[in-house]
Amino acid sequence: MSKKKQKSIEELLEEALVPEEEQPYKVPENWVWVKAESITEIVGGGTPKTTVKEYYENGNIPWITPADLSDFKDIYISRGQRNITEEGLKNSSAKLLPEKTVLLSSRAPIGYVAIAANPLSTNQGFKSFIPSKVIDSEYLYWYLKGSQKYLESMGSGSTFKEISASKCKEIKIPLPHINEQRRIAEKIERLFAKIDEAKRLIEEVKESFELRRAAILDKAFKGQLGTNDPDEKSMLEISDVITEKDLIPEEEQMYEVPENWVWVKAGDITDIVGGGTPKTTVKEYYENGDIPWITPADLSDFEDIYISRGQRNITKEGLKNSSAKLLPEKTVLLSSRAPIGYVAIAANPLSTNQGFKSFIPSNVIDSEYLYWYLKRSRKYLESMGSGSTFKEISASRCKEIKIPLPPINEQKRIAEKLSNLLSKLDNEKKLVLDFEEKLNSLKQSILNKAFRGELGTNDPTDEHAIELLKEVLKSK
C-alpha cells in the first residue's frame, strides 16, 4: 500500500490561512488571519451515564457544564459543581483536558468562556480549544469573549442553536506574534481591572443615592428641610376640620415634629375610598369607555407624580355596576395590595380597581405633601397590611395611618422642595447610570481594538506570525 503523500508547507498554509477576501477586517502587516483548527486541537465533551453512581461517586476529575459558567467572573476555572471518576471518563465521550485549555460553551448558551486552571473535563455543552505553541490561552480567551455575536452567528439548530465541531474549526482568528498576544492579553486585563474598579465605585455611588433620598424624605417629615416657619399657626388653630380629640396623643406619635405641627390620623383629614372592577365579561362596561381606570400594574414603572390614565378605560355603565368610584382630581392613590405602596395623584377625574385605597384630601392637607409622605412610608404601610395569600391594608387600617401635619403653607413648601431636591438627585443618578453604560460599552470597544492591533502594543519589528505558524504546521 502506498504511503499517503505529505502535504507541502504551501498546501498547509493554504488550508490554515483565511483568504484575504474572507477576512473580517484589516490587521497589522505582521499578523495573519487563521482558522481555529490550524492552531488548536478542538475537543468535545460528554456526560457519563447519570444512573451509574460509580461514574460520579468520590470522583476527583473536575467536570464542567455551561451552568458552572453562568455567573462565573474569573478567567481561570478549576472545578464545577460536580466531579466524575476515571470510570466515568472512560465510559463516556468526556475527555481529560490539559491545563490552559480554553473552554467555550457551544450551546445553551453559546459564548461562555473560561480557561482550565488544571486538568479537567466538560460535558457535551462545550467545544474546548487545546492551544498549540503559536497561540496564547489568554489571548484566545479574550478573543472568544469579545466575539459572542460572531460565534452565535455560526450556530445552527431548531430547538436551540449550537456550534458544531466542524464550524468551530472554521472560526477565524487574527494571529499576531506570540509576544504581542501576551502584551494584548495583559493590557486588556489591566484596562478591564480599572473599569471594574470604576464600576465598583459606581455601585457605591448608586447605593448613596438611595441613602440620600431616604435622608431627604426623612428630614422633610420631621421639619428639618429648613422651610418651617415657627410663627405660622398650626392647623388645629386655624381649621375646623381638626379638633383636639383628633390629635394623636404624644406617647403614640412616631417621632418628634416642630411645635406648630400636629399628628393626626388619615381618616380624620381625608375621605378614604376603595375601588372596583366592572364585570370583565360585559363588554358594555369597557367598550368605548371614557373613564380612566387605574390598576396597580399601571404604577409598576410609573415615575411621575400625576397620573391621568391607565391601560384601560371603563364606561359610565361599568362604573355604576361595580364598586369602582369616580375620584376627583388631586385624589392620592395608594396601592393597598399586590404590592402595598405604589403612589400617584389623579391628574383628572378617574377610577381605580380594588387594588387601591384612595385619599380624597380635605382642605387641611396638600395632595403633593400626602403623596410624598406615603411614598416615604412604604415600610410603615407594609407593616399595616394583613392577610395570608397576600398582604393588604384594609380601609379601616388606612384610616389609622398616622400623619405629621404642618401648616398648609409649610406642606406646600415641603412638597416643592422635595420635588426640586429629588429631581436633582434623579438627574445625578441618570448621569451615573449613563456613565456606567458607557463603561460597559468601553469593554467591548477595548476588545474590538485589541484584535485589530489598535491598543498601542503592537511592535512592527516582531517576527511575522506566519513564521511560527509554519513551524506548527510542519510539526503536525
Task: For residues 364-387, give the mean pLDDT.
Answer: 96
Is 240-406 the same fold as 9-176+464-475? yes
Instruction: List own/partner pairs for 297-305 with CB under 8 A and 24 or more apart.
Output: 299/333, 299/335, 299/342, 299/343, 299/344, 300/342, 302/342, 302/344, 304/344, 305/344, 305/345, 305/368, 305/371, 305/419
Question: If we measure between CA atoms, which residue out of 389, 360, 153, 156 comes closest to residue 267?
Answer: 360
Which pLDDT value is given to residue 165? 94
Which pLDDT value is given to residue 3? 58
Instruction: List own/partner pairs for 235-239 with CB under 8 A and 24 or more apart.
Output: 235/262, 235/364, 235/405, 235/406, 235/407, 235/408, 236/262, 238/407, 239/363, 239/364
pLDDT at 294 over 80: yes
Q: CA 287, CA 318: separation in Å to the nearest integer?
A: 10
Query: Greater confidence, 108 or 137?
Result: 137
**3-class DSSP assignment, residue 368:** helix
CATH class of 240-406: alpha beta
**Residue 293 — φ and ψ, nearest 5°?**
-130, 115
Q: Where are the beta strands (DSSP E) in 316-385?
A: 332-336, 340-346, 351-352, 356-361
pLDDT at 32 over 90: yes
pLDDT at 1 over 50: no
pLDDT at 375 over 80: yes
Question: b/e per residue, 27-52, with b = 16+ CB within 10 A?
Answer: bbebbbbbbbbbbbebbbbbbbeeee
Fold of 9-176+464-475: Adenine-n6-DNA-methyltransferase TaqI; Chain A, domain 2 (3.90.220)
Which pLDDT value is given to residue 4? 62
High-pLDDT (> 70) share of the chain, %: 99
Q: What is the pLDDT of residues 76-88, one digit of tens each?
A: 999 999 999 999 9
For residue 224 the three cell numbers come to: 428639618
Instruction: Map out the domains of the chain as residue ranges.
Output: 9-176+464-475, 178-232+407-458, 240-406
Q: Sorting pLDDT into bands at 50, 70 and 90, what band is 5?
A: confident
Which pLDDT value is given to residue 475? 81
Which pLDDT value is given to residue 331? 98
CB 405 within 8 A of CB 261: yes
CB 83 within 8 A of CB 96: no
3-state SS of 185-235? HHHHHHHHHHHHHHHHHHHHHHHHHHHHHHHHHHHHCCCCCCCCCCCCCCH
CB 324 within 8 A of CB 275: yes
Which pLDDT value is given to residue 183? 97
Give residue 232's Cα distance to chain centre.
48
Q: CA 1, CA 5: separation in Å to the nearest integer?
A: 12
CB 314 within 8 A of CB 289: yes
For residue 298 the three cell numbers come to: 399601571
Which pLDDT value is given to residue 390? 84
Amino acid letter for position 57: E
Average pLDDT for the chain: 95
Q: Sorting pLDDT into bands at 50, 70 and 90, what band is 444?
A: very high
Q: What is the pLDDT of residues 310-358, one digit of tens each?
A: 999 999 999 999 999 999 999 999 999 989 999 999 999 999 999 999 9
Is 0.85 topped by the overall pTM?
no
157 Rama class: left (phi>0) / alpha (psi -120 to 50) / beta:
left
Query: Greater confidence, 51 or 476?
Result: 51
Q: What are the angstrom distances between the C-alpha of 43 and each of 37, 40, 167, 254?
A: 10, 9, 13, 67
For residue 6 the three cell numbers come to: 505529505
CATH number for the segment(s) 178-232+407-458: 1.10.287.1120
Query: Greater confidence, 171 or 390?
Result: 171
CB 202 within 8 A of CB 432: yes
Which pLDDT value is given to residue 138? 98
Per-residue DSSP letter, 115: E
CA dihedral 292, 298, 299, 302 (to 10 degrees): -90
Which residues on neighbouring strands pair with residue 263, listed in sequence order? 404
**3-class DSSP assignment, residue 314:** strand
Give residue 408's Cα distance to chain centre.
41
